[in-house]
């Protein structure tokens, strides 16, 4: 009998349940006996020993269900070594829970911050296998994360909806897309949604170039312009600021987000009506799409294999269309960003999309 702990950490996304189902199905079908401990609300459940026992039945029928049956929360990595408000040493508490329950492995489904904590626990001696969860697709060491393609679908559908009304009214529309500090989500949703201008953090924009692109379209007789703007998009000027200067700027910032600032600038300089739409948290909600269901199921199965083989300290990852294992220590603290020279950027430019650069 082996004992497996499992937790989902950070912002939730589609296919978390599909991935966990993959792990559990693989282990149950392996012939050996397993007990499953589901920690509630991410690392908090591990810290405070808040869990429930799970059986195969808990994982039945959840392939298509959004969210996570375990709940999630954010426990910032940068304060993980600090005691909590009651003075409890969080890392020690996690280790105690692990040892007290005599776990053979802890499975962590998480994004960047969560992988850092997973690596820390691995370095502390726990048996860890992790899975790459995030709609941002910004995890180092894997070509793809689950949740990403489903989020692309939601963001693209948002742009699709806006397309018809932008066309009817001849307006400039900004659709603000998630993605934290990277542009993968905006880039893909922007191309898929037929956006005319795409602004991502990796390519700081020049507001004049953005306005030029709008006016060129107008001159060609286009009734409307759609901008897909990453929540982390940044202007060339702001990109030049020091960290301190940028922080100061944000303190006096009166716009809810960069899209509203952009809308304001475009409106003032062109006189055109500009509207902003923010699908926001919708992008991490709803059922996983078929792509993510297959992908997360496969990752889950291979994570199960790592457990069976006793290969710990790895994240299952996707490389060149095969599922491989990447050492946790190679992932932690790195970010996979969009290279401004990437083929997909060049191709988008060939299609006539402006990046405001």
Find, among 237, 255, 226, 234, the residue nearest to 179 by Cα: 234
Smallest distance from its own copies to CB 266, Å: 16
Smallest distance from its own copies to CB 335, Å: 18
Smallest distance from its own copies to CB 284, Å: 5
Find, among 28, 280, 294, the residue nearest to 178 by Cα: 280
User: Burial of 355 by CB count in 10 Å (0-12 exposed, 13-18 middle, 19+ buried)?
Assistant: buried
Residue 34: its H or E element? strand 34-39
Smallest distance from its own copies to CB 64, Å: 7
Nearer to its own copies, 14 or 122 (CB): 14
Report the distance separating Cα 161 and Cα 174, nearest Å.
Answer: 12
Smallest distance from its own copies to CB 245, Å: 26
Nearer to its own copies, 170 or 333 (CB): 170
Residue 315: its H or E element? strand 314-319
The one catalytic residue among 86, 89, 104, 136: 136
| 86 carries an active-site annotation | no
Nearer to its own copies, 26 or 46 (CB): 26
Query: Residue 221: how many CB atoms within 10 A of its CB?
Result: 6
Nearer to its own copies, 60 or 79 (CB): 60
Show the tokens assigned to 309: 């083989």
DSSP 220: T
Q: Say whether 85 sits in a helix, a strand or coil.
A: coil
Chain centroid to Cα 70, Å, comes to 18
DSSP string spanning 41-67?
A: TTHHHHHTT-EEEE-GGGGTT-TT--S
Nearer to its own copies, 117 or 149 (CB): 149
* Catalytic residue list: 136
């Amino acid at each position: 009998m082996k004992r497996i702990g499992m937790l989902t950490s950070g912002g939730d996304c589609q296919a978390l349940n599909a991935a966990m189902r993959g792990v559990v199905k693989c282990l149950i079908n392996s012939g050996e006996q397993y007990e499953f401990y589901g920690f509630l609300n991410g690392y908090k459940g591990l810290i405070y020993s808040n869990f429930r026992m799970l059986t195969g039945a808990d994982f039945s029928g959840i392939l298509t269900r959004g969210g996570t049956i375990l709940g999630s929360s954010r426990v910032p990595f940068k304060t993980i070594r600090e005691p909590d408000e009651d003075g409890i040493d969080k890392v020690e508490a996690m280790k105690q829970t692990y040892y007290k329950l005599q776990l053979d492995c802890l499975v962590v489904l998480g994004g960047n911050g969560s992988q850092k904590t997973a690596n820390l626990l691995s370095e502390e001696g726990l048996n860890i296998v992790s899975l790459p969860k995030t709609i941002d697709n910004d995890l180092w060491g894997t070509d793809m994360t689950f949740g990403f393609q489903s989020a692309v679908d939601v963001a693209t559908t948002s742009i699709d909806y806006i397309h018809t009304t932008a066309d009817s009214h001849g307006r400039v529309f900004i659709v603000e897309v998630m993605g934290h500090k990277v542009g993968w989500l905006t880039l893909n949703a922007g191309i898929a949604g037929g956006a005319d201008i795409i602004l991502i953090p990796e390519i700081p924009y020049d507001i004049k170039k953005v306005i030029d692109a709008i006016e060129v379209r107008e001159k060609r007789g286009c009734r409307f312009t759609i901008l897909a703007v990453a929540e982390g998009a940044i202007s060339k000027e702001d990109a030049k600021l020091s960290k301190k200067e940028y922080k100061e700027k944000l303190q006096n910032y009166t716009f809810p987000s960069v899209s509203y600032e952009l809308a304001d600038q475009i409106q003032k300089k062109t006189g055109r009506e500009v509207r902003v739409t923010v699908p926001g948290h919708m992008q991490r909600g709803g059922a996983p799409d078929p792509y993510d269901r297959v992908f997360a199921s496969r990752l889950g199965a291979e994570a199960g294999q790592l457990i069976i083989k006793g290969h710990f300290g790895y994240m299952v990852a996707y490389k060149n269309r095969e599922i491989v294992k990447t050492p946790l220590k190679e992932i932690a603290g790195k970010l996979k960003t969009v290279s401004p020279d990437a083929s997909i950027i060049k191709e988008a430019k060939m299609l006539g999309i402006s990046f405001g650069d």
